[in-house]
Amino acid sequence: MNELLEILKDLHPEVDFETAKDLVDGGILDSFDIVSLISEINEEFDVTIGAAELTPENFNSAKAIYALIQAKLDDED
Protein backbone atom coordinates (compact mmCIF):
# COMPACT_ATOMS: atom_id res chain seq x y z
CA MET A 1 0.00 0.00 0.00
CA ASN A 2 2.86 2.39 0.75
CA GLU A 3 4.17 2.05 -2.80
CA LEU A 4 0.74 2.94 -4.15
CA LEU A 5 0.42 5.95 -1.85
CA GLU A 6 3.80 7.21 -3.06
CA ILE A 7 2.70 6.89 -6.69
CA LEU A 8 -0.52 8.78 -5.93
CA LYS A 9 1.29 11.50 -3.98
CA ASP A 10 3.62 12.03 -6.95
CA LEU A 11 0.52 12.75 -9.06
CA HIS A 12 -1.19 15.07 -6.56
CA PRO A 13 0.88 15.92 -3.46
CA GLU A 14 -1.91 18.13 -2.11
CA VAL A 15 -4.40 15.24 -1.71
CA ASP A 16 -4.72 13.04 1.38
CA PHE A 17 -5.07 9.74 -0.45
CA GLU A 18 -5.44 7.77 2.77
CA THR A 19 -8.86 9.32 3.41
CA ALA A 20 -10.10 10.49 -0.02
CA LYS A 21 -12.97 8.37 -1.33
CA ASP A 22 -14.02 10.30 -4.45
CA LEU A 23 -10.84 10.46 -6.51
CA VAL A 24 -12.63 9.98 -9.84
CA ASP A 25 -16.14 11.13 -8.94
CA GLY A 26 -14.74 14.24 -7.26
CA GLY A 27 -12.53 15.12 -10.20
CA ILE A 28 -9.26 14.67 -8.33
CA LEU A 29 -8.00 12.12 -10.84
CA ASP A 30 -8.66 12.86 -14.51
CA SER A 31 -8.15 10.54 -17.47
CA PHE A 32 -4.52 11.58 -17.91
CA ASP A 33 -3.87 10.83 -14.22
CA ILE A 34 -5.48 7.40 -14.61
CA VAL A 35 -3.28 6.57 -17.62
CA SER A 36 -0.17 7.68 -15.70
CA LEU A 37 -1.29 5.78 -12.63
CA ILE A 38 -1.90 2.56 -14.55
CA SER A 39 1.53 2.81 -16.13
CA GLU A 40 3.16 3.27 -12.72
CA ILE A 41 1.13 0.42 -11.19
CA ASN A 42 2.07 -1.90 -14.07
CA GLU A 43 5.74 -1.07 -13.55
CA GLU A 44 5.76 -1.17 -9.74
CA PHE A 45 3.55 -4.21 -9.16
CA ASP A 46 4.06 -6.07 -12.46
CA VAL A 47 0.32 -6.39 -13.13
CA THR A 48 -1.78 -5.51 -16.15
CA ILE A 49 -4.98 -3.56 -15.62
CA GLY A 50 -7.39 -4.10 -18.49
CA ALA A 51 -9.88 -1.68 -20.01
CA ALA A 52 -12.80 -3.49 -18.34
CA GLU A 53 -11.33 -2.63 -14.94
CA LEU A 54 -11.19 1.11 -15.65
CA THR A 55 -14.28 1.94 -13.63
CA PRO A 56 -14.73 4.75 -11.12
CA GLU A 57 -15.39 2.15 -8.42
CA ASN A 58 -11.87 0.75 -8.89
CA PHE A 59 -10.19 4.18 -8.77
CA ASN A 60 -12.25 6.28 -6.32
CA SER A 61 -9.93 5.59 -3.37
CA ALA A 62 -6.44 4.32 -2.68
CA LYS A 63 -8.04 1.38 -0.88
CA ALA A 64 -10.08 0.46 -3.99
CA ILE A 65 -7.02 0.78 -6.24
CA TYR A 66 -4.99 -1.38 -3.88
CA ALA A 67 -7.77 -3.98 -3.78
CA LEU A 68 -7.67 -4.09 -7.60
CA ILE A 69 -3.89 -4.56 -7.52
CA GLN A 70 -4.21 -7.34 -4.94
CA ALA A 71 -6.89 -9.07 -7.03
CA LYS A 72 -4.64 -8.90 -10.10
CA LEU A 73 -1.71 -10.32 -8.09
CA ASP A 74 -3.92 -13.13 -6.76
CA ASP A 75 -5.12 -13.94 -10.30
CA GLU A 76 -1.51 -14.41 -11.41
CA ASP A 77 -0.72 -16.96 -8.70
| Full pLDDT tens readout for the chain, 77 residues | 999 999 999 999 999 999 999 999 999 999 999 999 999 999 999 999 999 999 999 999 999 999 999 999 998 77
Task: Give pLDDT, residue 68.
Answer: 97
For residue 45, what are the CA distances in angstroms to 4, 21, 71? Answer: 9, 22, 12
The pLDDT of residue 51: 93
Residue 76, pLDDT score: 75
Owning domain of residue 66: 2-10+17-76
Can you give the CATH number for the domain in which 28 is found? 1.10.1200.10
Position 43 scores a pLDDT of: 96
Report how many domains make up the chain.
Answer: 1
Q: Which of 69, 51, 49 is nearest to 61 (CA)?
A: 69
